[in-house]
Structure 1
Amino acid sequence: METSLAAADVVHRLVDRRETLATAESLTGGLVASTMVQIPGVSAVFRGGLVVYATELKARLAGVPAALLAERGPVDPDVAKALAVGARERCGADWGIATTGVAGPDPQDGKPVGLVYVAVADRHGADVRELKLDGNREVIRTESVTAVLSLLSEKLQAASSAV
């Protein structure tokens, strides 16, 4: 799904559900939030976001356990989950989404370029998806945005079906 279509789908689903969203971003550096705010009507659902590029800010601002970051580094599935939970809790939203990974051009802490984790959290917990992307920084970042929005769309669909 194209990034802008994924964002529009998420906004419309959230508006219909009267629910809100917050973001915590590392490798995407605010691109998720920027993509979201391009959609008309987003102000009804988007609470805000955290750009936590530096590892220590993941702990300080998003609430990722410092011990987890010290043990595994910032590119980790549990870190992605903690970022999504932190965004949801710290921004007072129904849903939190997060991105963390390596956009390149060089590997980071032994993690290859293109390794990305995206996560979605609601009050019941968090889900994460691992991505292994090819391409330059722009491609990896854009595909990461599309992937996190698609994961949220899937979770919203599942939540609607469960009701």
Structure 2
Amino acid sequence: MDQLHLDLPGPTPATGDGFQPAGLPDAALAALLKVAGPGVDVPLLTIEARHLGGALAPGARAGGAVSALEAAYALFSGGITVDAESRAAVHACLDDLAAALAPWRAPISYRNFTERREDGHATWLIWVNGFAGTGKASAKVAAGIRNNPKGWYANLHTSEFPGGAVRGQLHRGGW
């Protein structure tokens, strides 16, 4: 599979990140090109937008932990980070790219395409009845959940159920 995607055969020091735009209209593409287009010194090896839809479109099928993604594209970018200078340059470019495309970002991110933590908080994937979302926790709360998940209770609020759509005790386990 790595040969199909032209990934390097061995471990490579790199940083990448991604998110899902709800769409990529002309204004979004112009914003992307302004920070990473021709004539801009960009330390990234790749900026790719994969079209979603089809079987991933909402309502196309039911089943599985995540049956659909509420986004039109999956965007992923990355660069080689061999030293502190290259790490800083790649992170800054990824931040610029995310900020430039923020107005078109889908409301829910699929975390398999996300490599970096936001705002120094741990990011948790939440799967409920085929819908995916994320939650943020401070480092102290994240450590508490990791060390003793049974000591924590979750209450997931949605716009449809502001009082709480799902409530439950946390426990250690897998998917």
Q: Same fold (TM over 0.5)?
A: no
Query: Is the radius of gyration larger for structure 1 or structure 2?
Result: 2
Higher helix share: 1
Given the two structures, how large is their TM-score scaled by the length of structure 1? 0.28
